[in-house]
Amino acid sequence: MPKTLEFLFDFVSPNGYLAWYPLKEIVARTGATLEVTPVFLGGMHKLTGNAPPMIRDKDVKGKVEYGMLEIQRFIAKHGFTKYKLHPQFPFNSVMFQRMLLAVEGAERVKLVDTLLPAIWEESTPIDDPAAIGAVLANAGFDAEALLAKTQDPAIKQQLVDSTQGAVDRGAFGIPTFFIGHEMFFGKERLAQIEEELAG
């Protein structure tokens, strides 16, 4: 029976972008089912006391520089020639996370596929609803309805609950993955994830 790979995901994470495409290849190779669980990374950091590496490790000599080297190696390995750090990074991703919660299943995966390049390749302005709406509409989404749902109190609460639930399960950052009760953190764990799914 095919296994389910759950990806705790937030658009604000560069590592979320970098992990997404190799992860989809792994899912295709293993016949697994991909499930995207939207969480709010800012809220997760607040709940766990975690922080982005460039902040957390800034006083450790050489560590931030080495982290950047590993990112460049990963980019080169996977041929991410279009990737670039968004000029508004770190940005507030709560609107995008609520949009993800407003759709389900294959539509949620499609929304990730739609917005990741817009954010991490094309530097679409995060604070421009018209620009984001155009990206959504071009992909066949009802942009107006989707943006309106981000203000739905039920969706807002769902994001709060999803984030708290992720932390309760042991998550502290993005990208985090679950296969059953087994947790994996970081794009560096993709080989382990593939082994677990194949097994």
Rounded CA gap, 161 and 43, in Å?
A: 11
Q: Give the pLDDT of residue 51.
A: 82
When divided into structural domains, the chain yields a total of 1
Q: CB of 26 within 8 A of CB of 193?
A: yes
pLDDT tens track for 76-115: 999 999 999 999 999 999 999 999 999 999 999 999 999 9
Query: Whole-prediction pTM value?
Result: 0.93
Domain that holds residue 121: 4-198
Task: Write the pLDDT tens digit of every residue in 40-51.
Answer: 999 999 999 988
Report the CATH number that the domain containing residue 17 is assigned in CATH. Answer: 3.40.30.10
**What Cα–Cα distance (Å) separates residue 11 from each residue in 111, 114, 126, 196?**
11, 11, 11, 25
Condensed to tens digits (0 to 9), the pLDDT of residues 143-190 reads 999 999 999 999 999 999 999 999 999 999 999 999 999 999 999 999
Lookup result for tokens 């792994």: 26
pLDDT(1) > 80: no
CA atoms of 165 and 141, how far apart (whole Å):
28
Residues 65 and 49: their CA atoms lie apart, in Å, by: 23
